[in-house]
Chains A and B, each alone.
Chain A
Amino acid sequence: MTDVASLWSYLSTTPLIWLTTTILAYLVADGVARQLGNPPWANPVLLSVLLIAPVLWLTQTDYTAYFEGAQFIHFLLGPATVALALPLWDNRGTIRTSVAPIVLALLTGSIVAAGSAIMLARAFGLPMEVLLSLAPKSTTAPVALGISEAIGGIPALTAVLVIMTGIIGAVTVTPLMNLLRITDWRARGFAVGVAAHGIGTARAFQVNPVAGAYAGIAMALNALLTSVIVPLLVRWLV
């Protein structure tokens, strides 16, 4: 048997170890969340990150090395987004009769998401490039990064803010909607999809398939709308 150091130096050059670690961390996180009955605070993304971060820190692994393995999982976000076509197709009947609520809720949700972020950043006196990085936070990461770059934000900061927004939306949506006694799964799902993109959509699927379908629609439509609305809001509000 080779010594631990050479075994480690071999493993750390293959995607295997971080791919396996990510899957195991998620299985543990998701298992714990399910055991507890999927409470909003036990978000599987957040729990998995909290499990993996100390391992990376203890093994002195930088993110680039981790991502060598984890990129195979990250890549699947593309086909998973395309797969949202199926719940959309399944719910085509109710979608056809809710075109007006969908379009108008998309407009208000999207405008408030970006507008409130801009105004709050101004109220707190944040630097301009931070404000601009914050504005597209509610849309899906590839779109948000493109907008951030185009309006003069810092894409790396936007990437962090987008993921944080997703987790915040996924954690807050259930208590918020229960507090308001909203029982319409379409409205609940749509709201979290507009405000918290794919991570919010993942939470919606965890709770209810109709909510998931409407979150997926909201996320897809907001990807389109945010790229139009954020540059306009920045011009008006900044």
Chain B
Amino acid sequence: MLHTFGLLLGCQLLGEVTARGFGLPMPGPVLGLALLVLILGAMPTLAERLRPTTTVILANLSFLFVPAGVGVIGNLEVLSADGIVLLAILTLSTVLSMLAAVGTFIGVRHATERWAP
């Protein structure tokens, strides 16, 4: 478990340093994710050693968002008078975005499977 945490934090740290050092528009952890994929590519056997800890972390991903979620309740006044309108816009826009993504994914998958069986 400690090995895994050390590696995860190490990747995040390197990602953070790279993102800030080069002024890249992406968060350090996302670069750290890419870095860990590269490390796994070089050392495939590492995956099984990381798995017990990463499985627990990812199974409880929702838990990690609770503090930010509580922040929303504590900060609801920033929505001011537009709360209901914003809720409607967010719902509509999120559904439209999922429809666009899922439609494209399935459409393109069918098209490419037809061209390259």
Contact = CB atoms under 8 A, between A and B. Distances in A.
Interface of A: 22-23, 25-26, 30, 43-46, 48-49, 52-53, 56, 62-63, 66-67, 70-71, 73-74, 76-90, 98, 100-102, 104-113, 116-117, 120-121, 124, 126, 130, 134, 137-138, 140-143, 146, 154, 156-157, 159-161, 163-169, 172-173, 176-177, 180, 182, 184, 186-188, 190-192, 194-196, 198-199, 201-203, 205-206, 212, 216, 218, 220, 223-224, 227-228
Chain A interface helix/strand/loop/mixed: helix
Chain B interface helix/strand/loop/mixed: helix
Interface size class on chain B is 35 or more
Given A80-B61, A88-B33, A194 B97 contact: yes
Contacts of A102: 105
A228 B64 contact: no
Nearest to B5: A79
Contacts of B87: 164
Residue among B9, B57, B58, B101 with the most chain A CB within 10 A?
Answer: B101
A22 B66 contact: yes
A156 B78 contact: yes
Interface of B: 5, 8-9, 11-12, 15, 25-30, 32-37, 40-41, 47, 50-51, 53-54, 57-76, 78-79, 82, 85-87, 89-106, 108-109, 112
